[in-house]
Amino acid sequence: MSLLVVDPGALSTVQDLGRLGWAHLGVPRAGALDRPAAALANRLVGNPTEAAVIETTMTGLRLTAERGHWFVVTGAPCPVRVDGVPAGHGQPTWAPAGSAVEVGAAETGVRSYVAVAGGIAVPPVLGSRSTDTLAGVGPPRLAAGDRLPVGTPLGPPQAHDTPRPATPGPLRVHPGPRADWFGPDALDRLCDADWSVAADSDRVGLRLRGEPLVRARGGELASEGMVLGSVQVPPDGQPVLFLADHPVTGGYPVVAVVPADDLHRCAQLRPGDLLRFRRAGLPA
């Protein structure tokens, strides 16, 4: 059983929970940026949480179901059609053999998730089926003509499930290991500012624009390990919030770290959207 990729849109990749436990060898984790949305999609079609899904970016994609499949789309709201007939977003839908499945452009947010009963069964690499867009580990980005194998369904669709609403408000931050490079008020200045999402943001990191964070000391920092959610500040003072495909090392100081539980919200921020931070432990 397989799916034929007719049009992959701007960027569509296969993602699961990520490639954990390899950072010490220089391999990033990758994985779905909006993990709650991906997990919901899997639940809705009866898959385990770790099953691989398709992550689309802004413009959706088009597929042909070469066999009949149950599928669902979650994440960024978008039109969904089977042979031109509208289907519900977040609603398990049957795609008959030979049918055309269209996931349209995101109406809000950025990334939608397509889960198929049985999961996308591309061969795993280092224990994960995720595409790493920075390191090139895992399956390549989807291209027209690709055929995606589908696993054996484990259970019926679970149509009673509902999406989890997004948590409003600023992203929480903890002080980073190099906050002292920016003076004692560095975290306050980060949290007091409005930051705009830059157009060159991607799965590697959310690039932010605002009043630059000025270093309190000069010199260079030796390359050191980077964790998911690190807020790294290059010489121009414009922070970069590292996401799933981030490098495992970096040479710029990390002023703060965003907890992993907040990062899924970054998956749906568009260029120009405003973002704020707050110290972890303080009220929103």
Residues 187, 119: one domain?
Answer: no
Residues 23, 133: one domain?
Answer: yes
CA angle 112, 115, 117 (to 5 degrees): 165
Is 237 a domain residue? yes
SS3 260: helix
Is 62 a domain residue? yes
Residues 129, 198: one domain?
Answer: no
Is 221 a domain residue? yes
Give the CATH number for residue 85. 2.60.120
What is the mean pLDDT of each successive set of 10 residues along the chain, which is 284 residues long? 94 97 90 96 95 98 96 97 96 96 97 97 97 94 97 81 68 93 89 96 97 88 92 95 94 94 95 95 67
Q: Would you state the pLDDT for residue 184? A: 84
149, 183, 214 — which closes off a domain? 149
Residues 108, 228: one domain?
Answer: no
**Among 69, 165, 73, 78, which Cα is nearest to 117's?**
69
Q: Would you state the pLDDT for residue 26? A: 87
Q: Cα-flanking dihedrals φ and ψ of residue 40, to 5°?
A: -60, -45
Is 154 a domain residue? no
Is 12 a domain residue? yes
DSSP state of 284: -
Beta carbons of 191 and 173 less than 8 angstroms apart: yes
Q: Dig out the tokens for 15 from the structure.
A: 């993602």
Indicate the pTM of the whole model. 0.94
Beta carbons of 212 and 237 less than 8 angstroms apart: yes
Residues 62, 179: one domain?
Answer: no
Number of domains in the chain: 2
Residues 137, 266: one domain?
Answer: no
Q: For strand 171-175 and strand 277-279, is the pairing parallel, antiparallel, or unpaired? A: parallel
Dist CA 56 CA 79 (whole Å): 13
Q: Per residue in 146-170, is it b (16+ CB within 10 Å) or e — as a string? A: bebebeebeeebeeebeeeeeeeee
Dist CA 234 CA 86 (whole Å): 46
Q: Would you state the pLDDT for residue 284? A: 57
Is 228 a domain residue? yes
Dist CA 165 CA 171 (whole Å): 15
Q: Would you state the pLDDT for residue 87? A: 96
Please name the residue that has the structure tokens 């997990």.
39
- Residue 61: which domain range? 2-149
Is 166 a domain residue? no
Q: Would you state the pLDDT for residue 137? A: 95
Residues 134, 229: one domain?
Answer: no
Q: For strand 61-65 and strand 85-87, is the pairing parallel, antiparallel, or unpaired? A: unpaired
Residues 103, 14: one domain?
Answer: yes
Our CA dihedral for 246, 260, 139, 110, rounded to 10 degrees, sits at -90
Give the CATH number for residue 183. 2.40.100.10
Residues 143, 196: one domain?
Answer: no
Residues 128, 177: one domain?
Answer: no
Q: Would you state the pLDDT for residue 255? A: 95
Q: Would you state the pLDDT for residue 186? A: 87
Is 162 a domain residue? no
Q: Cα-flanking dihedrals φ and ψ of residue 101, to 5°?
A: -110, 125
Please name the residue that has the structure tokens 């907890």.
259
114, 149, 184 — which closes off a domain? 149
Residues 16, 134: one domain?
Answer: yes
Q: How are strands ordered across the β-sheet holding 69-75?
A: 13-15, 53-57, 111-116, 69-75, 93-95
DSSP state of 270: P
Residues 271, 222: one domain?
Answer: yes
